[in-house]
Structure 1
Amino acid sequence: MGSKYRNTPLFGGAITVELPSKFADVSQLREVPDHQEVYIDKDGFTSIIVEITERVGSKGASSLEDDGRALTTHLEELVGDDIDTVKVWNTTETQFTSIPEELPAYTLIATQTPKVPNERKSAPDFTALILTLLRIERLSTDILITVNVPHIKGEYDEEEVDLALGKQGELIGDAVEYAAKIWETFKIKDWKLFDTV
Protein backbone atom coordinates (compact mmCIF):
# COMPACT_ATOMS: atom_id res chain seq x y z
CA MET A 1 0.00 0.00 0.00
CA GLY A 2 1.63 3.25 -1.09
CA SER A 3 1.80 6.10 1.37
CA LYS A 4 0.23 9.46 0.66
CA TYR A 5 2.69 12.35 0.56
CA ARG A 6 2.45 16.08 0.82
CA ASN A 7 4.86 18.76 -0.28
CA THR A 8 6.43 20.01 2.93
CA PRO A 9 8.45 23.23 3.29
CA LEU A 10 11.51 22.90 5.53
CA PHE A 11 13.62 25.68 7.03
CA GLY A 12 11.05 28.34 6.19
CA GLY A 13 10.59 27.05 2.65
CA ALA A 14 14.30 27.18 1.68
CA ILE A 15 13.99 23.43 1.10
CA THR A 16 10.90 21.54 -0.01
CA VAL A 17 10.36 17.79 0.08
CA GLU A 18 7.49 15.34 -0.04
CA LEU A 19 6.96 13.67 3.32
CA PRO A 20 4.28 11.14 4.26
CA SER A 21 1.03 12.99 5.06
CA LYS A 22 0.62 11.07 8.30
CA PHE A 23 3.83 12.60 9.71
CA ALA A 24 3.52 15.59 12.06
CA ASP A 25 5.94 18.47 12.54
CA VAL A 26 7.52 17.88 15.96
CA SER A 27 8.38 21.58 16.37
CA GLN A 28 4.68 22.19 16.98
CA LEU A 29 4.89 19.92 20.04
CA ARG A 30 8.31 20.74 21.44
CA GLU A 31 11.36 22.80 20.65
CA VAL A 32 13.58 21.57 17.83
CA PRO A 33 17.05 23.06 17.16
CA ASP A 34 17.15 25.61 14.30
CA HIS A 35 19.36 23.41 12.13
CA GLN A 36 16.90 20.49 12.31
CA GLU A 37 13.44 19.65 11.03
CA VAL A 38 11.83 16.66 12.73
CA TYR A 39 8.68 14.83 11.63
CA ILE A 40 7.13 11.86 13.40
CA ASP A 41 4.59 9.27 12.33
CA LYS A 42 1.31 10.07 14.09
CA ASP A 43 0.32 6.39 13.96
CA GLY A 44 3.67 4.85 14.87
CA PHE A 45 7.19 5.48 16.09
CA THR A 46 9.12 6.27 12.92
CA SER A 47 10.66 9.73 12.63
CA ILE A 48 12.31 11.65 9.80
CA ILE A 49 14.99 14.21 10.66
CA VAL A 50 16.56 16.65 8.20
CA GLU A 51 19.63 18.31 9.65
CA ILE A 52 22.04 20.87 8.25
CA THR A 53 25.51 20.50 9.72
CA GLU A 54 28.99 21.72 9.09
CA ARG A 55 30.82 19.62 6.55
CA VAL A 56 32.93 16.89 8.11
CA GLY A 57 36.41 16.23 6.75
CA SER A 58 39.27 18.03 5.11
CA LYS A 59 38.84 21.02 2.86
CA GLY A 60 39.10 20.51 -0.86
CA ALA A 61 37.44 18.15 -3.27
CA SER A 62 36.08 15.15 -1.48
CA SER A 63 37.14 11.65 -2.29
CA LEU A 64 35.09 8.53 -1.79
CA GLU A 65 37.29 7.79 1.21
CA ASP A 66 36.62 11.23 2.78
CA ASP A 67 32.92 10.82 2.18
CA GLY A 68 32.93 7.35 3.72
CA ARG A 69 34.67 8.70 6.80
CA ALA A 70 32.20 11.58 7.01
CA LEU A 71 29.29 9.16 6.88
CA THR A 72 30.82 7.14 9.71
CA THR A 73 31.47 10.31 11.75
CA HIS A 74 27.87 11.46 11.36
CA LEU A 75 26.60 8.00 12.32
CA GLU A 76 28.79 8.06 15.45
CA GLU A 77 27.50 11.52 16.38
CA LEU A 78 23.96 10.32 15.86
CA VAL A 79 24.16 7.27 18.12
CA GLY A 80 26.72 8.62 20.59
CA ASP A 81 28.11 6.09 23.04
CA ASP A 82 26.03 3.33 21.50
CA ILE A 83 28.21 3.06 18.39
CA ASP A 84 29.40 -0.43 19.44
CA THR A 85 25.77 -1.60 19.31
CA VAL A 86 25.38 -0.47 15.69
CA LYS A 87 25.62 -2.73 12.66
CA VAL A 88 25.80 -1.18 9.20
CA TRP A 89 24.14 -3.45 6.64
CA ASN A 90 24.90 -1.59 3.47
CA THR A 91 26.08 1.73 2.07
CA THR A 92 25.22 2.96 -1.39
CA GLU A 93 25.77 6.05 -3.48
CA THR A 94 22.52 7.97 -3.81
CA GLN A 95 21.26 10.25 -6.54
CA PHE A 96 18.82 13.03 -5.70
CA THR A 97 16.56 13.81 -8.67
CA SER A 98 16.63 17.61 -8.26
CA ILE A 99 20.10 18.14 -6.81
CA PRO A 100 23.09 18.79 -9.11
CA GLU A 101 24.79 15.48 -9.89
CA GLU A 102 28.22 16.67 -8.83
CA LEU A 103 27.06 16.83 -5.20
CA PRO A 104 27.87 13.42 -3.75
CA ALA A 105 25.28 11.64 -1.63
CA TYR A 106 25.35 8.32 0.18
CA THR A 107 22.88 6.26 2.14
CA LEU A 108 23.50 3.63 4.75
CA ILE A 109 21.13 1.26 6.47
CA ALA A 110 22.08 0.34 10.01
CA THR A 111 20.51 -1.14 13.10
CA GLN A 112 21.18 -0.18 16.68
CA THR A 113 20.34 -2.71 19.37
CA PRO A 114 20.15 -1.65 23.04
CA LYS A 115 22.96 -3.14 25.14
CA VAL A 116 20.70 -4.56 27.81
CA PRO A 117 17.21 -5.88 27.50
CA ASN A 118 15.11 -3.03 28.76
CA GLU A 119 12.56 -3.34 31.50
CA ARG A 120 10.53 -0.52 30.03
CA LYS A 121 7.87 -1.86 27.71
CA SER A 122 8.27 1.01 25.27
CA ALA A 123 11.99 0.51 24.67
CA PRO A 124 12.64 -0.88 21.19
CA ASP A 125 14.14 -4.30 20.51
CA PHE A 126 16.24 -2.41 17.98
CA THR A 127 16.10 0.75 15.88
CA ALA A 128 16.76 0.74 12.16
CA LEU A 129 18.37 3.86 10.70
CA ILE A 130 18.34 4.95 7.10
CA LEU A 131 20.90 7.72 6.99
CA THR A 132 21.43 9.77 3.83
CA LEU A 133 24.31 12.23 3.63
CA LEU A 134 24.30 14.95 0.97
CA ARG A 135 27.59 16.85 0.72
CA ILE A 136 27.71 20.47 -0.47
CA GLU A 137 31.43 21.07 -0.73
CA ARG A 138 31.42 24.73 -1.83
CA LEU A 139 29.19 25.71 1.09
CA SER A 140 31.07 23.59 3.66
CA THR A 141 27.77 21.90 4.45
CA ASP A 142 26.56 18.38 5.02
CA ILE A 143 22.84 17.67 4.95
CA LEU A 144 21.78 14.60 6.90
CA ILE A 145 18.44 12.95 6.36
CA THR A 146 17.69 10.23 8.88
CA VAL A 147 14.71 7.92 8.99
CA ASN A 148 14.63 6.35 12.47
CA VAL A 149 12.57 3.19 12.76
CA PRO A 150 12.21 1.85 16.32
CA HIS A 151 11.01 -1.78 16.41
CA ILE A 152 9.02 -2.25 19.59
CA LYS A 153 7.99 -5.72 20.69
CA GLY A 154 4.42 -6.44 19.70
CA GLU A 155 4.39 -3.60 17.15
CA TYR A 156 6.07 -5.54 14.34
CA ASP A 157 6.27 -9.09 13.04
CA GLU A 158 9.61 -10.45 14.27
CA GLU A 159 9.61 -13.23 11.70
CA GLU A 160 9.45 -10.69 8.88
CA VAL A 161 12.71 -8.98 9.88
CA ASP A 162 16.09 -10.56 9.24
CA LEU A 163 18.42 -8.10 7.57
CA ALA A 164 21.12 -10.73 7.22
CA LEU A 165 18.71 -12.57 4.92
CA GLY A 166 17.57 -9.35 3.25
CA LYS A 167 14.18 -9.44 5.00
CA GLN A 168 13.36 -5.87 5.95
CA GLY A 169 9.86 -6.25 7.28
CA GLU A 170 7.08 -3.72 6.83
CA LEU A 171 8.44 -0.85 8.95
CA ILE A 172 11.86 -0.76 7.27
CA GLY A 173 10.22 -1.34 3.89
CA ASP A 174 8.07 1.74 4.46
CA ALA A 175 11.10 3.73 5.64
CA VAL A 176 13.03 2.80 2.50
CA GLU A 177 10.06 4.03 0.47
CA TYR A 178 10.03 7.34 2.42
CA ALA A 179 13.77 7.76 1.82
CA ALA A 180 13.37 7.09 -1.91
CA LYS A 181 10.57 9.68 -2.07
CA ILE A 182 12.84 12.18 -0.30
CA TRP A 183 15.66 11.58 -2.83
CA GLU A 184 13.17 12.09 -5.63
CA THR A 185 11.48 15.27 -4.29
CA PHE A 186 14.13 17.07 -2.20
CA LYS A 187 14.64 20.54 -3.66
CA ILE A 188 16.83 23.36 -2.43
CA LYS A 189 14.92 26.55 -3.29
CA ASP A 190 17.15 29.04 -1.51
CA TRP A 191 20.87 28.29 -1.32
CA LYS A 192 21.30 31.33 0.98
CA LEU A 193 19.92 29.11 3.74
CA PHE A 194 23.42 27.69 4.17
CA ASP A 195 24.94 31.10 4.90
CA THR A 196 22.82 31.44 8.01
CA VAL A 197 22.94 28.02 9.62
Structure 2
Amino acid sequence: MGKMPEDLRAQRPLFGGAIVASFPLRFQDVSDIREVPDNQEVFVDPTRDESLIFELLELKTDVPDNGSATWFLQDLANEQDAEGTVVLEQSGIVQADGEQFRNNRPIITTAVGQMAVSKGRQGREAQNIVKVYLANLRLKNVATDVLITAYEPLLINSLSESAASVGAGLAIPAAESGCMPMAEVFKCAVSSFNVNDWSLFGGVA
Protein backbone atom coordinates (compact mmCIF):
# COMPACT_ATOMS: atom_id res chain seq x y z
CA MET A 1 0.00 0.00 0.00
CA GLY A 2 1.41 3.41 -0.99
CA LYS A 3 1.54 6.52 1.14
CA MET A 4 -1.70 8.41 1.60
CA PRO A 5 -2.00 11.64 -0.42
CA GLU A 6 -1.82 13.93 2.63
CA ASP A 7 1.58 12.45 3.41
CA LEU A 8 3.12 13.63 0.15
CA ARG A 9 6.19 15.72 0.83
CA ALA A 10 6.68 19.12 -0.72
CA GLN A 11 9.20 21.91 -0.46
CA ARG A 12 7.48 24.63 1.56
CA PRO A 13 8.40 28.33 1.60
CA LEU A 14 9.26 29.79 5.02
CA PHE A 15 9.63 33.46 5.94
CA GLY A 16 8.33 34.62 2.56
CA GLY A 17 10.44 32.09 0.66
CA ALA A 18 13.78 33.28 2.12
CA ILE A 19 14.08 29.77 3.58
CA VAL A 20 12.64 26.47 2.35
CA ALA A 21 12.19 23.03 3.92
CA SER A 22 10.39 19.85 2.88
CA PHE A 23 7.71 18.14 4.96
CA PRO A 24 4.29 16.52 4.39
CA LEU A 25 1.42 18.56 2.97
CA ARG A 26 -0.86 17.44 5.82
CA PHE A 27 0.80 20.15 7.93
CA GLN A 28 -1.16 23.39 7.52
CA ASP A 29 0.23 26.90 7.95
CA VAL A 30 -1.15 28.22 11.25
CA SER A 31 -0.74 31.85 10.11
CA ASP A 32 -3.76 31.23 7.84
CA ILE A 33 -5.83 30.82 11.04
CA ARG A 34 -4.19 33.03 13.67
CA GLU A 35 -1.35 35.48 14.08
CA VAL A 36 2.14 34.00 14.47
CA PRO A 37 5.23 35.97 15.66
CA ASP A 38 7.41 37.29 12.80
CA ASN A 39 10.34 35.12 13.87
CA GLN A 40 8.27 31.90 13.70
CA GLU A 41 6.63 29.67 11.10
CA VAL A 42 4.15 27.23 12.64
CA PHE A 43 2.55 24.24 10.89
CA VAL A 44 0.04 21.83 12.37
CA ASP A 45 -1.83 18.66 11.48
CA PRO A 46 -5.08 19.20 13.44
CA THR A 47 -6.26 15.64 12.86
CA ARG A 48 -3.26 14.30 14.81
CA ASP A 49 -2.46 17.33 16.99
CA GLU A 50 1.11 17.24 15.65
CA SER A 51 3.04 20.43 14.98
CA LEU A 52 6.25 21.63 13.39
CA ILE A 53 7.76 25.01 14.30
CA PHE A 54 10.63 26.94 12.70
CA GLU A 55 12.01 29.77 14.82
CA LEU A 56 14.79 32.33 14.32
CA LEU A 57 16.48 33.61 17.49
CA GLU A 58 19.43 35.84 18.22
CA LEU A 59 22.52 33.64 18.69
CA LYS A 60 22.93 32.69 22.33
CA THR A 61 26.70 33.08 22.57
CA ASP A 62 26.79 31.84 26.18
CA VAL A 63 25.38 28.43 25.20
CA PRO A 64 28.12 25.97 24.10
CA ASP A 65 27.71 24.40 20.63
CA ASN A 66 27.89 20.83 21.87
CA GLY A 67 24.58 20.06 23.54
CA SER A 68 22.94 23.35 22.54
CA ALA A 69 19.80 21.51 21.34
CA THR A 70 19.43 19.96 24.80
CA TRP A 71 19.79 23.41 26.39
CA PHE A 72 17.02 24.79 24.15
CA LEU A 73 14.83 21.73 24.89
CA GLN A 74 15.12 22.36 28.65
CA ASP A 75 14.50 26.08 28.07
CA LEU A 76 11.35 25.21 26.11
CA ALA A 77 10.16 22.94 28.94
CA ASN A 78 10.66 25.78 31.47
CA GLU A 79 8.84 28.23 29.20
CA GLN A 80 5.86 25.91 28.86
CA ASP A 81 5.83 25.02 32.56
CA ALA A 82 6.21 21.39 31.52
CA GLU A 83 6.38 18.62 34.10
CA GLY A 84 8.48 15.46 34.19
CA THR A 85 10.74 16.45 31.31
CA VAL A 86 13.08 13.65 30.25
CA VAL A 87 15.78 13.96 27.59
CA LEU A 88 15.58 10.70 25.63
CA GLU A 89 18.47 11.23 23.23
CA GLN A 90 20.84 13.91 22.03
CA SER A 91 23.26 14.12 19.16
CA GLY A 92 26.76 15.47 18.98
CA ILE A 93 27.53 18.10 16.37
CA VAL A 94 26.34 17.12 12.88
CA GLN A 95 27.94 18.65 9.80
CA ALA A 96 25.55 20.15 7.28
CA ASP A 97 25.91 20.12 3.51
CA GLY A 98 27.98 23.23 2.73
CA GLU A 99 26.30 23.92 -0.60
CA GLN A 100 22.95 24.59 1.04
CA PHE A 101 24.43 27.42 3.08
CA ARG A 102 26.98 28.98 0.69
CA ASN A 103 29.69 27.23 2.70
CA ASN A 104 28.55 29.06 5.85
CA ARG A 105 28.01 25.66 7.38
CA PRO A 106 25.76 25.69 10.42
CA ILE A 107 26.63 23.73 13.55
CA ILE A 108 23.71 21.35 14.08
CA THR A 109 22.76 19.44 17.23
CA THR A 110 19.52 17.60 17.96
CA ALA A 111 17.69 16.41 21.06
CA VAL A 112 14.55 14.39 21.73
CA GLY A 113 12.59 14.72 24.95
CA GLN A 114 9.32 13.78 26.56
CA MET A 115 7.26 16.16 28.69
CA ALA A 116 3.80 16.90 30.05
CA VAL A 117 2.39 20.15 28.65
CA SER A 118 -0.98 21.91 28.56
CA LYS A 119 -2.49 23.50 25.45
CA GLY A 120 -2.73 27.28 25.37
CA ARG A 121 -3.99 28.62 28.68
CA GLN A 122 -5.25 25.31 30.03
CA GLY A 123 -4.03 24.31 33.50
CA ARG A 124 -1.90 21.37 34.63
CA GLU A 125 -4.94 19.13 35.09
CA ALA A 126 -5.25 19.10 31.27
CA GLN A 127 -1.63 18.18 30.47
CA ASN A 128 -0.86 15.93 27.51
CA ILE A 129 2.25 13.74 27.28
CA VAL A 130 4.22 14.75 24.20
CA LYS A 131 7.44 13.75 22.53
CA VAL A 132 9.45 16.77 21.39
CA TYR A 133 12.12 16.68 18.68
CA LEU A 134 14.37 19.74 18.55
CA ALA A 135 17.21 20.73 16.22
CA ASN A 136 19.41 23.77 16.72
CA LEU A 137 21.12 25.08 13.59
CA ARG A 138 23.67 27.70 14.61
CA LEU A 139 24.23 30.18 11.76
CA LYS A 140 27.14 32.03 13.30
CA ASN A 141 27.85 34.11 10.20
CA VAL A 142 24.50 35.86 10.76
CA ALA A 143 24.43 35.53 14.58
CA THR A 144 21.26 33.42 14.47
CA ASP A 145 20.08 30.29 16.28
CA VAL A 146 17.51 28.43 14.17
CA LEU A 147 15.23 26.07 16.10
CA ILE A 148 13.22 23.37 14.36
CA THR A 149 10.81 21.78 16.83
CA ALA A 150 8.35 18.94 16.23
CA TYR A 151 5.64 17.92 18.71
CA GLU A 152 4.15 14.43 18.73
CA PRO A 153 1.39 13.66 21.27
CA LEU A 154 1.74 10.29 23.00
CA LEU A 155 -1.17 10.57 25.42
CA ILE A 156 -4.09 13.00 25.14
CA ASN A 157 -5.71 14.06 28.41
CA SER A 158 -9.52 13.84 28.37
CA LEU A 159 -9.62 17.41 29.79
CA SER A 160 -7.38 18.79 27.04
CA GLU A 161 -8.93 20.85 24.25
CA SER A 162 -7.08 18.45 21.90
CA ALA A 163 -9.40 15.61 22.97
CA ALA A 164 -12.27 17.17 20.99
CA SER A 165 -10.40 16.90 17.67
CA VAL A 166 -8.19 13.83 18.08
CA GLY A 167 -9.80 11.92 20.94
CA ALA A 168 -8.50 11.18 24.44
CA GLY A 169 -6.11 8.38 25.37
CA LEU A 170 -3.07 6.94 23.64
CA ALA A 171 -2.35 8.61 20.30
CA ILE A 172 -2.75 6.37 17.24
CA PRO A 173 0.73 5.62 15.84
CA ALA A 174 1.45 7.40 12.56
CA ALA A 175 2.14 4.15 10.70
CA GLU A 176 -1.36 2.87 11.54
CA SER A 177 -2.85 6.05 10.07
CA GLY A 178 -0.78 5.82 6.89
CA CYS A 179 1.20 8.92 7.90
CA MET A 180 4.91 9.58 8.01
CA PRO A 181 6.06 9.27 11.66
CA MET A 182 7.05 12.55 13.33
CA ALA A 183 10.63 11.35 13.74
CA GLU A 184 10.83 11.12 9.92
CA VAL A 185 8.97 14.43 9.39
CA PHE A 186 11.49 16.08 11.70
CA LYS A 187 14.54 14.52 9.98
CA CYS A 188 13.17 15.50 6.59
CA ALA A 189 12.58 19.14 7.65
CA VAL A 190 16.06 19.46 9.18
CA SER A 191 17.95 17.83 6.31
CA SER A 192 16.11 19.86 3.63
CA PHE A 193 16.33 23.23 5.44
CA ASN A 194 17.87 25.68 3.01
CA VAL A 195 18.52 29.44 3.07
CA ASN A 196 17.71 31.10 -0.26
CA ASP A 197 17.96 34.73 0.78
CA TRP A 198 20.51 35.68 3.43
CA SER A 199 19.18 39.27 3.55
CA LEU A 200 16.45 37.86 5.83
CA PHE A 201 19.06 38.04 8.59
CA GLY A 202 19.46 41.81 8.53
CA GLY A 203 21.06 42.79 5.26
CA VAL A 204 23.82 40.15 5.26
CA ALA A 205 24.83 39.52 1.65
Same fold, judged at TM 0.5 (above): yes
Instruction: Work out the number of aligned pairs and report it.
Output: 177
Contact 1:96 1:186 in 2 (8 A): no
Cα 1:83/1:70, change in 2 over 3 Å: farther
* Residue 156 in structure 1 maps to residue 163 in structure 2: no
Match of 1:183 among 179, 190, 195: 190
Moved more, 28-37 or 76-85: 76-85
1:194 aligns with 2:201: yes
Cα 1:133–1:170 change in 2 (3 A) is farther
> Residues 35-184 of structure 1 correspond to what in structure 2 (within 5 A)?
35-58=39-62, 66-68=64-66, 70-80=68-78, 82=81, 85-92=84-91, 93-97=93-97, 98-99=100-101, 100=103, 102-113=105-116, 119-120=125-126, 123-124=127-128, 126-151=129-154, 152=156, 153-156=168-171, 174-184=181-191
Matched, 1:31 2:35: yes
Kindly indicate whether the alpha-carbon contact (under 8 Å) linking 2:67 and 2:109 is maintained by their aligned counterparts in 1. no
1:90 is displaced (CA, Å) by 0.8
Structure 2: gaps spanning 5 or more residues: 157-167
SS of residue matched to 1:85 = strand
Quick check: 2:82–2:116 contact (8 Å CA) kept in 1? no
CA drift at 1:192: 1.0
Amino acid at match of 1:37: E
Contact 2:83 2:117 in 1 (8 A): no
Q: Distance in 1 between matches of 2:56 and 2:185?
A: 19
Distance in 2 separating the partners of 1:114 and 1:183: 24
Contact map agreement 2:136 2:145 (CA 8 A) in 1: yes
Distance in 2, matches of 1:182 and 1:90, equals 18
Q: Cα distance, 1:42 vs. partner?
A: 3.5
Alignment root-mean-square deviation, CA: 3.0
- Matched residue type, 2:194: K
Letter in 2 for 1:111: Q
TM-score by length of 1: 0.76
Q: In the TM superposition, what is the alpha-carbon distance from 1:95 to its structure 2 partner? A: 4.3
Q: What is the Cα deviation at residue 147 of structure 1?
A: 0.2
Deviates more, 1:8-17 or 1:71-80: 71-80
TM-score by length of 2: 0.74
